[in-house]
């Protein structure tokens, strides 16, 4: 993430310096502030990475007593009966890849495609419900 943000910013700074010269391009910016700006980008990226990894830690899927527990679209914990799952379908949004277990009135659970033993989980759901994974 740091590279994805830093490289375009640095290129923009360099282009502006070559076109206008440093004094004219950055009248409001001192040379010693540039490393602090780049350090801020790195700190922002690291913070966001930790927040995302912390959120993913809570995205586990659990099957207990015939119920599938996981997270819904808004990341709230949801428990649905496996036998009530009527539809399984892929979901992709903003780089998040998941399989949705839709149980109608009971709600939906989003299962990450990076879940360990995902194939076994899908097989279990398909064998204990009317759902089949569609593509």
DSSP character string of 45-60: HHHHHHHHHHHHHT--
Evaluate whether residue 17 is within a structural domain: yes
Buried b or exposed e, range 73-95, using 16+ CB within 10 angstroms: eeeeebebebebbebbeeeeeee
Q: What is the DSSP letter of 99?
A: E
* pTM of the predicted protein model: 0.62
**Residue numbers of the domain that contains 98:** 62-127
As for how many domains the chain has, the answer is 2
pLDDT digits (tens, 9 = 90+) for 79-114: 999 999 999 999 998 778 899 999 999 999 999 888
pLDDT recorded at residue 14: 87
The CATH number that applies at residue 102 is: 2.40.50
120 and 79, same domain (yes or no): yes
CA–CA separation, 52 vs 49, rounded Å? Answer: 5
7 and 32, same domain (yes or no): yes
pLDDT digits (tens, 9 = 90+) for 4-28: 888 898 898 889 888 888 778 778 8
How are beta strands 87-93 and 62-64 bridged, if at all? unpaired
68 and 122, same domain (yes or no): yes
Chain Cα centroid distance, residue 41? 20
Evaluate whether residue 120 is within a structural domain: yes
């Amino acid at each position: 993430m740091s590279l994805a943000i830093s490289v375009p910013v640095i290129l923009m700074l360099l282009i502006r310096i070559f076109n206008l010269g440093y004094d004219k391009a950055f009248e409001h910016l001192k040379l010693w502030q540039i490393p602090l700006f780049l350090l801020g980008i790195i700190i922002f990226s690291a913070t966001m990475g930790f927040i995302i990894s912390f959120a993913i830690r809570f995205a586990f899927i659990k099957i207990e007593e015939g119920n599938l527990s996981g997270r819904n679209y808004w990341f709230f914990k949801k428990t649905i009966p496996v036998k009530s799952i009527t539809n399984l379908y892929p979901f992709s949004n903003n780089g998040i890849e998941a399989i949705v277990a839709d149980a109608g009135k009971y709600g939906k659970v989003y299962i990450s495609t990076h879940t360990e033993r995902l194939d076994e989980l899908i097989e279990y759901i398909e064998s204990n419900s009317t759902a089949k994974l569609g593509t």
